[in-house]
Amino acid sequence: MALIPIAEAEIDRLIVGDVGFGDLTTRTLGISGQPGRISFAAAIRWSPVRRKKRRAF
């Protein structure tokens, strides 16, 4: 899967466009007002090129 860089301004535009409609998932599940948790992780790009092993001294 290729990583596609997205400008911060584009992310802000998407969030602003979504905020006005409310959170239908939260309302439908009846979990509004409940504490939540979110986590993010950075993706590491994989390269098919083999790197030389370092010698141990």
pLDDT tens per residue across span 20-43: 777 777 888 888 888 888 887 777
| φ and ψ at residue 24, rounded to 5 degrees | -65, -35
Looking at residue 24, its pLDDT comes to 79
Looking at residue 48, its pLDDT comes to 65
Looking at residue 29, its pLDDT comes to 86
User: Two tokens at 19?
Assistant: 């905020």
Whether 50 has a pLDDT exceeding 70, the answer reads no
Whether 17 has a pLDDT exceeding 70, the answer reads yes
Give CA–CA dist 10/16, Å, rounded: 10
Looking at residue 47, its pLDDT comes to 64
